[in-house]
Structure 1
């Protein structure tokens, strides 16, 4: 059975780097038309625009602060103007930052939830009317939501909140045939060694059944699976992409 992603209209938040970029390019190469957004004008955004132009299709890279309700409303309007509607939403924006609980401030907590949970609410709420019946919403969470992580209580809690968001929302939009799922990656190598000391990487690899850390393309593959026809009866699920930790 084919995924039938060609011609799908897709919004991916945080699409210029790491998992988001791999996801945007995977959709574009599958024949989908993609709108994506980024917070800062930089070479990553410019190079993605060039790559999408080379692939061909109706693509748009827009600067957006997904924690700002007015900016998100403008992003939804740009999706309406550029694509006319959506069949896929990928909530990928998120932040991390190790902080021991003893030193965790209220500002740290709020910042984490604003980017990892509130942004998902704002974007999903803003584009709900643009999603066609039978659409797919995929939230990018983290496998730590299911096992916890030292020095990451705020991060773990925010990613666990996405699982609850997914489980509840799928019941509300299910009558329209809209599916909502979460992809939960393990440590992902968006830069050499995932930005960790070699000893830490070695320890994590030793815990992983497949003997390596996750790559952005691994996560993108799971996202496309949940967006496509072969997962048409999967909703409310959390799909671990952690190599068997």
Structure 2
């Protein structure tokens, strides 16, 4: 089944590597026009730019750090000037560090909360005037939000916050015809290499006995963005292989 996304105007934050790049390319290949952002540019952004150039449609990569409100303002201005509006927002930008709570200072806490949670609020807050009936917002969370992870209290708190943000916005924006959902990934094999020991442990924890791929997550994002999911909102959708 093809997912009908031709002509949709899409913003993907943090969309130049890993899961974000897979989501960005999946939208472009499905006929959408996509604008994404990179905090630093570099080889991954250059590689994605080449792939997008070879894909029909209007696609753009903007330099923006979504933990900085002025950069978010610039990002939404780019969406407005290039597309005139938005049909889909994917809040994918994220950052993780591994710090015991006794060593986690306020600056470290704020860095992770700002990147993983506050940025999603800021993007949505600024983008609401660009959205209309039928629009879809997908916030990329984590299965760790409810389970917790050792030495990552700040990260799991931020991802749990995305669930609350999503469920409230579902009720606030629903009357406008705007849907809001959380994609909750499990462990995914990206360009960040995991040790054999860690990979094996996570494989054994899943029902499918393997890690996921970025493309498998992107498929679900496309569904949530499309009219096929027109009655799906306020949901936390696990894509975790049954972990």
Smaller-chain TM-score range?
over 0.9
Higher mean C-alpha displacement, 114-123 vs 93-102: 93-102
The residue aligned with 2:92 is 92
2: CA distance, partners of 1:67 / 1:187:
24
The residue aligned with 1:190 is 190
The residue aligned with 1:227 is 225
SS in structure 1 at match of 2:133:
strand
The residue aligned with 2:13 is 13
2: CA distance, partners of 1:224 / 1:124:
19
The residue aligned with 2:123 is 123
The residue aligned with 1:78 is 78
The residue aligned with 1:212 is 210
* Aligned residue pair count: 243
Contact 2:203/2:210 (8 A) holds in 1: yes
2: CA distance, partners of 1:218 / 1:174:
27
Query: What's the CA shift string for 1:167-220, capped at 9, x where partnerless?
Result: 0011111011100000010122112xx433211111111101111112111111
2:31 matches 1:27: no
The residue aligned with 1:65 is 65
2: CA distance, partners of 1:59 / 1:87:
15
Q: Using structure 2 for the length normalisation, give the TM-score.
A: 0.96
Q: Using structure 1 for the length normalisation, give the TM-score.
A: 0.96
The residue aligned with 1:200 is 198
Contact 1:2/1:230 (8 A) holds in 2: no
Where does structure 1 differ by over 3 angstroms across 4 or more consecutive aligned residues?
none
- Gaps of at least 5 residues in structure 1 are none
The residue aligned with 1:3 is 3
- Gaps of at least 5 residues in structure 2 are none
Q: CA RMSD in A?
A: 1.2
- Once the two structures are TM-superposed, the CA of residue 166 in structure 1 deviates from its matched residue by 0.3
2: CA distance, partners of 1:218 / 1:95:
21
Query: What's the CA shift string for 1:63-112, capped at 9, x where partnerless?
Result: 01112222211111111111111100000000111222232222221111
The residue aligned with 1:142 is 142
Contact 1:95/1:115 (8 A) holds in 2: yes
The residue aligned with 1:102 is 102
